[in-house]
């Protein structure tokens, strides 16, 4: 176990923003967390850096989660219980589950980031959110100096939300997720409700898809729409899709018949932020070195040499234009450090 000083954080955030960490330590076993730090110091738990806006230098300790583990923990008549270390790359983990014959996570293929970060904002795509298939989360609590296990119901999952965000545990560095157990039902049914996925499978002439076929279709759809961070630095969807009252959605839809609206179980309506941003004129538009991607307006991209301040300037301009045009507030998805 080794601590480094004045580490360049640019390679550790997918927006490739500049910044240095005063102190940095790679964590490869859960026990290292207990030894790494005292309860009260400023720290940040870093995963894949794919949901992060660096504001510049960080004067605390970065704990970079690299705990490995991919294994079948147990199985019963209904389900496989799969354990994964927080440091595993999410996409590689999903592909491993499919190769091993544990289907269920295929719709979440190619989401950037790590296993340990996935529950924090309850990552979701193409009709599945990770919380639906999660059994429990184990985390180190810096305040209590103890490991705790959080069951699925206690995770309080919502759209891009969990107890880890609600309580500010992640941002304050109070807790570090060390591993996650998934419960994957043995009775597998393909989830191909999304038109993009159905169309991709039809184009490949697949009528009875295997889990790997679904994963491949989703990988193809995502590669067409979303920029590869290794080529065009980005943090995936930059804003949440706003969830508004039914009356607000109704009024907006009557003025804008093409507005995509998704009714929610609680009666409210989710709107497509990408559509709002495109209509506000931001698809493919830049402000300085930061713009909104030309194939998916919800993705903010670093065109080269951007700083955290450049990101915040473009973010604010997009929010102001969408608010002026539609009266809707857009909330950013990433964490600002």
Residues that bind ligand EPU (CB under 6 A): 125-126, 236-237, 240-241, 260, 272, 274-275, 278, 283, 296-298, 333
333 tagged catalytic: yes
Distance CA 50, CA 295 (A): 19
Q: Which residues of 241-260 are buried (b: 16+ CB within 10 A; e: fewer)?
A: bbbbeeebbeebeeebeebe
CB closer to ligand EPU out of 72 and 259: 259
Contact 298, 332 (CB under 8 A): no
CB closer to ligand EPU out of 81 and 159: 159
CB closer to ligand EPU out of 32 and 241: 241
Closest distance between ligand EPU and the C-beta of residue 8, in Å? 25
- Bridge partners, residue 44, by sequence: 62
4 tagged catalytic: no
**Closest by CA position to 150, among listed 185, 176, 111, 112:** 176
Q: Token digits for 56?
A: 């510049």
Distance CA 296, CA 278 (A): 8
Closest distance between ligand EPU and the C-beta of residue 198, in Å? 13
CB closer to ligand EPU out of 56 and 260: 260
Q: Token digits for 95?
A: 């592909």
Q: Token digits for 193?
A: 């409700």
**41 C-beta neighbours (distance < 10 Å), count:** 12
Closest distance between ligand EPU and the C-beta of residue 225, in Å? 6
Q: Active-site residue among 23, 160, 174, 222?
A: 160
CB closer to ligand EPU out of 181 and 220: 220
**Closest by CA position to 66, among listed 111, 125, 26, 119:** 26
Closest distance between ligand EPU and the C-beta of residue 192, in Å? 12
**Closest by CA position to 290, among listed 301, 278, 299:** 301
Closest distance between ligand EPU and the C-beta of residue 260, in Å? 4
Distance CA 4, CA 25 (A): 6
Q: Active-site residue among 50, 162, 179, 237?
A: 237
Show which residues are catalytic: 160, 237, 333
């Amino acid at each position: 176990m080794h601590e480094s000083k004045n580490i360049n954080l640019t390679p550790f955030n997918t927006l490739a923003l500049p910044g240095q960490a005063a102190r940095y330590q790679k964590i490869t076993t859960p026990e290292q967390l207990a030894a790494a730090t005292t309860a009260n110091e400023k720290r940040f738990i870093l995963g894949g850096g794919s949901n992060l806006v660096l504001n510049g230098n960080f004067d605390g300790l970065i704990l970079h989660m690299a705990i490995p583990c991919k294994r079948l923990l147990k199985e019963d008549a209904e389900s496989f219980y799969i354990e994964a270390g927080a440091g595993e790359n999410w996409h590689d983990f999903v592909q491993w589950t499919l190769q091993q014959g544990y289907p269920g996570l295929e719709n979440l293929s190619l989401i950037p980031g790590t296993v340990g970060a996935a529950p924090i904002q309850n990552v979701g795509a193409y009709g599945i959110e990770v919380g639906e298939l999660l059994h429990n989360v184990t985390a180190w609590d810096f305040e209590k100096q103890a490991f705790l296990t959080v069951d699925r119901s206690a995770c309080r999952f919502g759209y891009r939300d969990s107890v880890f965000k609600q309580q500010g545990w992640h941002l304050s560095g109070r807790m570090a997720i060390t591993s996650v157990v998934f419960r994957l039902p043995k009775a597998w049914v393909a989830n191909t409700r999304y038109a993009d996925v159905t169309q991709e499978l039809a184009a490949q002439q697949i009528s009875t898809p295997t889990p790997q076929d679904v994963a491949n279709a989703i990988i193809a759809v995502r590669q067409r729409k979303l920029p590869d961070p290794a080529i065009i630095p980005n943090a995936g969807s930059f804003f949440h899709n706003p969830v508004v009252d039914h009356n607000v959605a109704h009024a907006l839809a009557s003025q804008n018949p093409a507005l995509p609206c998704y009714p929610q179980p609680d009666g409210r309506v989710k709107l497509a932020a990408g559509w709002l941003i495109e209509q506000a004129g931001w698809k493919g538009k830049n402000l300085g070195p930061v713009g909104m991607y030309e194939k998916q307006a919800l993705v903010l991209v670093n065109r080269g040499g951007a700083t955290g301040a450049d990101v915040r300037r473009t973010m604010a301009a997009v929010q102001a234009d969408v608010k002026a045009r539609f009266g809707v507030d857009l909330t950013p998805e990433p964490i600002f450090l």
